Amino acid sequence: MDFSFLSEYWYYFVSGTVNTIVIAILTVILGVIIGTGIALMKISHNKILKAVASSYIEFIRGTPLLVQITLFFYLISLPKLRILGLDLDRFIPGVIAMSVNSGAYVAEIIRAGIQAVDKGQMEAARSIGFTQGQAMRYIVLPQALRNILPALGNEFVVVIKESSVLSVISISELMRNTNIIQGAIYRPFEPLAVTAVIYFILTFGLTRLLGYAERRMRTSD
Amino acid sequence: MKKGLLKRIFCLLIVATIGISIAGCGGGETMKRIEKTGKLVVGTSGDYAPYEYHMMVDGKDTIVGIDISIAEEIAKDLGVQMEIVDTDFNGLLSALNTKKVDIVIAGMNPDEKRKKSVDFSKIYYEAKQGVMVRAEDKDKYKTIADLKDKKVGAQLGTTQEKIVKEQIEGANLVSLGKIPDLVMELKNKKIDALVVELPVANGYVKNNNDLALTDIPVEDDTGGAAVAVKKGNSNLVEQINKTLDRLMKDGLIDKFVQEANEKNVTAE
């Protein structure tokens, strides 16, 4: 074990970690937007919307993320753009693929959260004159949010770890930068060990943060 | 409904494929593009020391190595700036054919299969191949016959893979995409030997006490590394060959190799 390369190659770990975090945050935001839409479509009474949502979820959950990422990368062709050291022509297809994937899982999380809210809440809201949409927005969704948050946090942790797959399309996130260091210093093991520790710190820190948020929510009952 | 979705995705795939192939047609225009933009876009795969690898130079992430020094000379002779695109080795030739890069320089051997899809310059560096093993096993492997029935690793889709298949009788080939992964397998006794280019092998042996190079001779008929350009750009190939001739005459390529090896030893 020799970690002397860190003095020269620390920058690659830092930039890789930053990129991984940026990717994860964007993916979760986009994933939640897509997921909410799909979940609402799936619980709606419109048969067509329902079928579209179901096939989306089944297709995305039934194919590996690796396949989806490579597919999106070849389907979405962008001109070469570089902002803050990120190749956007790779970054954008990568984030879209991650979000589309995450959206399918988030949709199920949200659907479960909404369906866990007592039916009587919707009935009561309708009986005092709310429309279906209003009742959903003001009465059901806020309550569902509390059921959803823990699982959503879990999805965030999953996204951080899964984003390492993006290294196959050469996005300079943490895993790709690890490959770069491995190749440059002729030592395969040590950079991988450092990377494992960084991923763990990221996910562990996030888990603690989520635990704190959940406790705060419970006390507000 | 699901069927409809699949159909649509399939159609999209076909359209994309056709689009890419149309974009890939036409030729001879790379030179014009270089002249027009004043920029030579060089495609490489920055995880293959000492040919090309990342390094911090004056606090900035830079790709350096033998190939990069050569590309700089080519750009200089063309009188243009150089820009590097760092991507996966597997994607390099398609980047060339979709005009994302003007030339590819990545320690690439001009084998028959590749020659069908792109044109190559003359060979600028004849790398010899070597067999790397664990240091404790060095005495066990003296000839190529000693590798019989052993697990031998090589990088996926490379000349080395072919060498294992054709020259080592009864060897079990283990192919992986990345050399570091193969080295890890060798260290952890998952494979017994690794066929790899000598400049690369030397780097690993220098940086890892538990690895050693055998004296097993390996024949390689593909000849070495060359620069790839899109098909039908003979004027550009000519220019590149001129630069390579000059570098070889002045012994500069050997100097680049030496420089890359010296710069690159970080540990110990």
A159-179, pLDDT tens digit by residue? Answer: 999 999 998 888 889 999 998
Q: Which amino acid is at A205?
A: G
Asked if B61 and A52 come within 8 Å (Cβ–Cβ), the reply is: no
Q: Does the CA dihedral B103-A68-A66-A38 come out positive or negative?
A: positive
Closest CA to B178 of A64, A162, A180: A180
Output the six-digit token pair for A110: 């949200």
Q: Which residues of A touch B48 (CB under 8 A)?
A: 183
Instruction: State the pLDDT at residue B27.
Output: 46
Which of B184, B266, B268 comes nearest A189 by C-beta? Answer: B184
Which of B88, B181, B204 comes nearest A186 by C-beta? Answer: B204
Instruction: State the pLDDT at residue B156.
Output: 85
Q: Which residues of A touch B87 (CB under 8 A)?
A: 170
Output the six-digit token pair for A58: 């089944």
Q: Give how far B182 is from chain A: nearest CA, Å.
A: 9
Catalogue the E-assigned strands of chain A: 82-83, 86-87
Q: How many CA atoms lie within 13 A of B209 on its CB side?
A: 4
Name the one residue in this structure whose structure tokens are 């320690």: B107
| Beta carbons within 8 Å of A114's beta carbon, 6+ residues apart | A39, A43, A140, A141, A144
B114-148, pLDDT tens digit by residue? Answer: 999 999 999 999 878 999 999 999 999 999 999 99
Cβ contacts below 8 Å, chain A against chain B, sum to 91
pTM, rounded to two decimals: 0.81
A67-112, pLDDT tens digit by residue? Answer: 999 898 888 877 777 776 677 888 999 999 999 999 999 999 999 9
Asked if A183 and B100 come within 8 Å (Cβ–Cβ), the reply is: no
B185-228, pLDDT tens digit by residue? Answer: 999 999 999 999 988 999 999 999 999 999 998 887 767 899 99
